[in-house]
Structure 1
Amino acid sequence: MSSQTNTLGLFLIAWTAFYFIAKQLKLEEKGWEIAPLYALYKSTRLNDLINRLAKINPGAWKTLGNIGIAASVGQAGFITYILSRNIWNFAFVPEQASPVQPLIPGVTISVSSLPWFLLAAGIIILTHELGHGVMCIIEGVRVKSAAVMFAVITFGGAVEPEEEDIMAASIWSRLRIYAMGSIINLITGLLTIPVFIAFGRTMPVQLYVFLNWMYFVAINLAMMNMLPIGPLDGGQMWRDFTQRFSSGPMLRTGATYGFIGLILLNIVLSLSKFGLVPI
């Protein structure tokens, strides 16, 4: 554990150095947004990319968004079942319980696979956000800004739509926008399966590790992001669905705290049984 702790410490030191150097160089004046845990580089080139992608068969994109809405119910239901069943296993069939833990570089993510995790996570997050951006354009919602994000543990992207346009859009347009990121993640994760089947035994170890992380991150993000928890995309969809009911605020609050509790209980039980397990 000491080597893992040292690695994590060096990683945080390097990030801290980057943060202070960026502040000294005043990168904010050059399109950067610098914060202690992340850095954003905003560029109109990303907006141009989103606009170009949106022009490629808009009807197909909208169909994919509709599929994403339907799939979101299954994704949320499936991960709810997995988490609930895991708690049952901890209580009654402990030998069948699985660890649920945070991903901590150098601790639960082994040093050897850390670069491949960072690359995979960055690609998955970037494509997730691009999916949101493309669907925004197709649904007539302006994208206020698009950015490449460098965070403490990975990189990715961020798309900020115009709030007024989002609120003015129809409920189905909003649902397609919210669902698009996760359906792209789900498809990405599923596409790695035939690659493993066809080439898993012969591909280089590094490629195998990278694709394994692609599958893991894509599938988990696709599922977890559809849970009806406040700021998650699933939470936004749940908000739009429940706002027609007088009990909507109570339903949203209950869902957020209930599912957060479900996740935390899994983590606590996992830590008590397995500790932190390097992947």
Structure 2
Amino acid sequence: MVYESLVVGGLMAFGLFSDKALGDPMFRRPLVMGALVGLLLGDLRQGLIMGAAIEVVFLGTSQIGGSLPSDTMTGSIFGTAFAILTNQDVEIALTLAIPISMLAVAINQACLFVVGLFLDRFNSLVDKGEYKKFATLHWVLCLAQCAVYFLVGFVGILLGTTAIQHLLDIIPQVIMDGLTLTGQILPALGIALLLNMLWDSKIAVFALLGFILNAYLGMPLMGIACIGIVVAVVVGLRDKELVEMSNSNTTSTSTTNGDDFFD
């Protein structure tokens, strides 16, 4: 279990480092982390499936400043790892990922609090023009946060896998069935939350089209997604042309009004 603990701890540290030092190239997302967990734990297929399922749940979740509704990276890594190590299905990965991601927010907030204590020190270094010391302090704090996340991942898998396995073994079957059903509903809930933010009556017909293609024509989701890409490109190009025409008409009107004024 030491290897698995090192893998999870390393991915936790890598995910945080990518956010703090690499400008957040989206390595922290569940889809990427789930795949990496599966690859390093010897089950890439399950990692991809679990990462994709967890990604759907957290599609509309993002950190804005210091506000983090849930730590999707930690939840996806632990949920996928626990499910693979205990030979459970994707529904269990989802069920574990949700509460873990919410609990892990405390770790994120604690790190931000400690970093905030150095704000005056950062300002002092800038005022004195000591930019090398400023950069050094930044990297020290960044690596310290990565070390914290590594320890959380390492200890969590080393000590938690057996406990999770024991917990799953003693849970009654009726409860497991309920957890499985909940895991199947969660992706739909994630899509619904995302649509709630993006919904517009003008695009409702496209959602209806996707439903018809899948429910009545039996088209696979990948095919519907490809059609959606084509529709998005066509609509985007049309909107761009309309904006350019509107700007052209506005410019033409302004020029005409100006000529009338001088005439």
Same fold (TM over 0.5): no
| TM-score, structure 1 as length reference | 0.27
From the two aligned structures, give the one with the greater helix fraction: 2
| TM-score, structure 2 as length reference | 0.28
From the two aligned structures, give the one with the greater strand fraction: 1
Query: Which structure's CA Rg is the greater one?
Result: 2
